[in-house]
Amino acid sequence: MSEAWRQYNASNTQAKQKLIYLRLIKDCQESIIQQVTNGAAVLALNGLRKRIEDMGINVNVDNFNLNTDKYDSAH
């Protein structure tokens, strides 16, 4: 990200390139914020999942569907 800032601030960088660098910087910042915000929750859920699986219960969240109604006979 520091290289993107360096290229953005360079005097010979064209306007279109500056927009690309700004987009890259924005995407990096959003990713960092998302990881900081959600990181603890994800780690906690992974820990909980591991403890549940250690008890012998299979937890398959890869195919989990939030739209499934537990009373729907098709599922």
Tens digit of pLDDT for each residue in 30-75?
A: 988 888 888 888 888 888 888 888 888 776 766 555 454 555 555 5
What is this structure's pTM?
0.54
Contact at 8 Å (CB) between 4 and 21? Answer: yes
Please write the tens of the pLDDT for every residue from 5-15. Answer: 999 999 999 99
Q: What is the predicted pLDDT for the residue at 42?
A: 84
Residue 38: what pLDDT? 81
What is the per-residue DSSP string for 11-34?
TT--HHHHHHHHHHHHHHHHHHHH
